[in-house]
A = this chain, B = another copy of it.
């Protein structure tokens, strides 16, 4: 029972961390994005998706700023539960532009810091994964 409770706590904490990370992406103000990212991002954390690889928070913030420039008012919403084990997690998300028409859904694969409080790396993939 204690193990099950601990696993639930971990999942709940990780879910909150992921939602704070998604809030960084959804935040229209650049200074506020930087503040929010600083609370969830581990030193030397990396972000990688099909369009970019960054290994500094500044580079990630510049990338997010570019996405906001292209899609003003866009938000990122988590669309699945957060599935985590051994300090690893996966979740689905979608980017919703201000006009409400969703971009293709993506999945992020995440590594957590040892204390579970920050993100060590985020690797994103876009769209569904087609059958072979």
Q: What is the distance, in angstroms, from A130's C-beta to the closest C-beta of chain B?
A: 5
Copies in the complex: 2
Judged by DSSP, the binding face of A is strand
Chain A positions 62-84 with a Cβ under 8 Å from a chain B Cβ: 78-81, 83
Which residues of chain B are near A90, meaning CB under 8 Å?
107, 109, 125, 129
Chain B residue nearest to A130 in the complex (CB): B81
A residues whose Cβ falls under 8 Å from a Cβ of B? 48-50, 53, 78-81, 83, 85-86, 88, 90-92, 107, 109, 123, 125, 129-132
Known: A88-B123, A90-B129. 12 other contacts (CB 8 A): A49-B85, A53-B86, A79-B132, A80-B130, A80-B131, A81-B130, A81-B131, A90-B107, A90-B109, A90-B125, A91-B129, A107-B129
